[in-house]
Structure 1
Amino acid sequence: MTTLGEAARAVLLTPDPHAKRRAARALARGWRRGDIAHRCDVPLPDRPAWPAAPELLAPAQMPRRRKGGSERGRIAMLHALAHIEFVAIDLAVDLVGRFGGEFPRGFVDDWLGVAADEAMHFALLDRRLRALGSHYGALPAHAGLWEAAEATADDALARLAIVPMVLEARGLDVTPATVTRFRDAGDEASAKILERIYADEIRHVGAGTSWFEWLCDERQMEPRATWQSLVKARFRGSLKPPFNDSARRDAGLTQEYYAVIA
């Protein structure tokens, strides 16, 4: 029987975006069917395999996206979001393959569900790009999205603190305004995709917060103080308002976590 570690490694080492998203969804289905053993018994790569395109650039080298509702600007935004969702597939799979053995089966259930969601989000965004005459890989993309995984590869608690509870939570802050911008430009199709992603991301942040608190309880650590300490030590950036307090609260990430260090 294939183990969870072996299956996760296979997804991470799949470079083609569409093959990777199919592999992630197949992993989630295999786990639900009971075809995969709950063992994380193989080393995972430091970095996943990715395609030759898009070209990955440092944040300072990324072209500035035009404000407003031009089609060119909307394509650039959709492409950036598609890249985030593509990397998010690997982030969820790596979390499971690297740390899943430290948790009960419910953790794997949740995070393979997240991986399948991210694969679906990527497919929706790439399909929308193609409808607008573009595709994933047509524009450069941000090279720094995997840095948080590298910085937290040694500790599940740090990974949960940074990836879902900082990076994905930031998506909750900015997505509603992005939806409005697309809708004001008359792009209802894109707006509906982003609304679907937004609803799913609340659940993802909720899973991160819930399992972070579970692991804090296992280690007899106070969650909020521990999270604040980890963010200060492990996050290469700062928490900046405005925050979508209501969406964060729906995910269990209350102001007591982030207000004091924002």
Structure 2
Amino acid sequence: MKGFTINFFKELERIIETTSSEEKIERFIRFYELFQTKKLLFVEDFVPKKFENPSYSEICTIVAPQNVPKRTNLTTKEGQINLLHAVAHIEYSAIDLALDAAYRFGNMPYEYYVDWLEVAMDEIRHFLMLESLLDALGAKYGDIEVHNALFEASYKTQTLLERMAVVPRYLEANGLDATPMIVKKLKKLPKNEMLERIVQNLEVILAEEVSHVKKGDIWFKYACEEEGVDENIYFEIIQKYYPRGFLRPNDLNIEARKEAGFSCSELKVMAKKEVCI
């Protein structure tokens, strides 16, 4: 590593704390190029910071989840903006979540960092796709109130085991269930160009999110092995942070979840019935 002076973790910290979305993305793209050409220094004794506020707190007004504007009539411009803004916020939050996964856990196999920086790059692309649609509707990210539930999840999970269980294997996996229902609803509406573009974007995001959950599955199982615990600890962790657990057992996207690494025995617990063998 002789001659490499840019600290991998310190630079990630700087990117995570960047409050401008444009600047954050520009900085990450430069950082990612350095990472891909192996020009970054991994400092083994680096101590990560615990971020007290999400980086978007200077862009968006944060409110309780129940106070976020509802996605009402999706045939209207207002309804479409509300939907796109909500999904864009998830994707923007997911950028920081992926970066934090790489930043927070040191001394991991190199492939771990490859995985989460790839995810961050995907989330940036997803965010920019949605931002473009918002722009076409005369809106921008930050125009509408948001919640900070995803940031809170990362704030509370400071071990690799809990982070991988909660963020990719629970929260992102829930997106595998929710997105097809949104797409189905949109496809039933009278067709217009904007609705078709929204559907196309959501279908791209859904397809790519499967691989993100799969990466989380791989590193969750790695953490279980490292800590010498059974993989069924997953349900204990979810119960700890989300006592209401799996609220829509009939809406599970079984095929996507299987592709992302969930076993049939896990899916049986979630669905409260046999759903695959």
Would you say same fold, with TM above 0.5?
Answer: yes
In the alignment, is the contact (CA less than 8 A) between 2:69 and 2:82 conserved in 1? no
What letter matches 1:21 in structure 2? I
What letter matches 1:43 in structure 2? P
- The reply to whether residue 251 of structure 1 matches residue 256 of structure 2 is no
In the alignment, is the contact (CA less than 8 A) between 1:158 and 1:234 conserved in 2? no
Match of 1:208 among 196, 213, 216: 216
Equivalence for 1:7: 11
In the alignment, is the contact (CA less than 8 A) between 1:87 and 1:146 conserved in 2? yes
Q: Percent of aligned pairs with the same residue?
A: 32
The CA deviation at 1:237 is: 4.6
Bigger relative contact order, structure 1 or 2 (CA pairs below 8 A, ≥6 apart)? 1
**Structure 1, residues 175-204: CA drift from partner, whole Å, max 9, x if none?**
112223334442111111111111110000
- The reply to whether residue 128 of structure 1 matches residue 133 of structure 2 is yes
Q: For residues 75 and 202 of structure 1, what CA distance do their matches in structure 2 show?
A: 25
**Structure 1, residues 65-92: CA drift from partner, whole Å, max 9, x if none?**
2144322211101000001111111111
Equivalence for 2:247: 240
Aligned positions, number: 259
The CA deviation at 1:150 is: 1.1
TM-score, with structure 1 as normaliser: 0.92
Larger radius of gyration: 2
In the alignment, is the contact (CA less than 8 A) between 1:172 and 1:202 conserved in 2? yes
Equivalence for 1:86: 92
Equivalence for 1:66: 72
Equivalence for 2:201: 193
Q: Which aligned segments of 4 or more residues in structure 1 are displaced greater than 4 angstroms? A: none
CA gap 1:227/1:148 in 2 versus in 1, 3 angstroms? same
Q: For residues 41 and 243 of structure 2, what CA distance do their matches in structure 1 show?
A: 35
Equivalence for 2:83: 77
TM-score, with structure 2 as normaliser: 0.87
Unaligned runs of 5+ in 1: none
Equivalence for 1:144: 149
CA RMSD between the two structures = 1.8
